[in-house]
Amino acid sequence: MGGREATMVLLDENGIRCDGRKVDEPRRIMIKAGGLKNADGSAYIEFGENKILVGVFGPRDVHPKHMSNTDTGILRVRYHMEPFSVGERKNPAPSRREIEISKVIKEALEPAVMLEKFPRTAVDVYIEVLQADGGTRCAALSAASVALADAGIPMRDMVAAIAAGKVADTVILDVNNEEDQAGQADMPIGYMPSVEKITLLQLDGVLTPEEYKKCVEVGVNGCKIVYDLQKKALNDKYFGSGED
């Protein structure tokens, strides 16, 4: 956060951002349900320049067995970035960042999935980031929700996610990579619109209490846009053209 903003115009005098968007405009979002033959459920998302594939397996037996829980099912999430997904090749070894994002996404999905219906089993969510451009955790979380629904796993709601943030002292929706690096704040939000519950809220940067409230409001509204596209992806697969 900060630092490089002075050398980069993140918001011009007409209120247009570095990639041509308005302050409240998300990037282009395309979500597809299904696609992976060997997974129980899957989804693919393009979120601006982010491209992410998610495969869901389960509920299935837990190995090693001692990790299973007799009272409830467990959710396991692996967020993985391909070495070629970013400009500067990423080391293929699992990074601390990938481990952290896996945990964050798991905890954001847990309130949505009715794991209590599947004691002793595991639901595995594999996230492959093919191309990254800022906001991969939100895009991955949104796609994972669609993949879980595609797998027929009972859920309270899907989690829709997008980041709000702040550049040039202005609250914006959907922070891209440049805005993440040179801007003032990045707030990824995951939200279940039907249940009206936030399951992910992180903040990198500094906000006033008013800006914080505005970011939550802008982020939650953005999640509703993502949610409509998640529902459309499932509708297209199950009630659409019959492809897949």
Task: Output the DSSP codes for 125-182.
Answer: EEEEEEE-SS-HHHHHHHHHHHHHHHTT--BS---EEEEEEEETTEEEES--HHHHHH
| Rounded least distance, CB 228 to ligand UDP, Å | 22
Binding residue for ligand UDP, selected from 40, 46, 124, 133, defined by CB under 6 A = 133
Shortest Å distance, C-beta 144 to ligand UDP: 13
* Near ligand UDP in 210-239, by CB under 6 A: none
Among 113, 132, 167, 226, binds ligand UDP (CB under 6 A): 132
Q: Which backbone phi and psi does 170 adopt, to 5 degrees?
A: -125, 135
Please report whether residue 135 would count as binding ligand UDP according to CB under 6 A: yes
> According to the binding rule CB under 6 A, does residue 184 interact with ligand UDP?
no
Binding part of the chain for ligand UDP, among 18-26, 33-41, 131-139, 215-223 by CB under 6 A, reads 131-139
97, 117, 213, 224: which one contacts ligand UDP (CB under 6 A)? 97
Using DSSP bridges, classify how beta strands 74-81 and 41-47 pair: parallel, antiparallel or unpaired.
unpaired
Residue 43 neighbours by CB distance under 10 Å: 31
Q: Is 136 in the site for ligand UDP (CB under 6 A)?
A: yes
In the complex, the smallest distance separating the C-beta of residue 123 from ligand UDP, rounded to whole angstroms, is 22
How many Å separate Cα 93 from the centre of its chain?
Answer: 22
> Contacting ligand UDP (CB under 6 A), which of 180, 219, 223, 237?
180
- How far is residue 130's CA from residue 82's CA, in Å, rounded to a whole number? 6
Residue (of 17, 57, 16, 14) closest to 37 by Cα position: 57
Among 27, 137, 166, 237, binds ligand UDP (CB under 6 A): 137
Of 15 and 94, the one with the shorter C-beta distance to ligand UDP is 94
Distance CA 149, CA 7 (A): 44
The alpha carbon of 112 is separated from its chain's Cα centroid by a whole number of angstroms, namely: 14
Our finding on whether 86 is near ligand UDP (CB under 6 A) is: yes
Please, what is the minimum distance in Å from the beta carbon of residue 64 to ligand UDP? 30
Closer to ligand UDP by CB, 142 or 230: give it: 142
CB 143 within 8 A of CB 45: yes
Work out whether 17 is an interface residue with ligand UDP (CB under 6 A): no
Number of residues that bind ligand UDP (CB under 6 A): 11
Q: Please, what is the minimum distance in Å from the beta carbon of residue 77 to ligand UDP?
A: 14
Residues 123 and 115: their CA atoms lie apart, in Å, by 8
Q: Of 29, 80, 83, nearest to 54 (Cα)?
A: 80
Q: Which residues would be at the binding site for ligand UDP (CB under 6 A)?
A: 86, 90, 97, 132-137, 177, 180
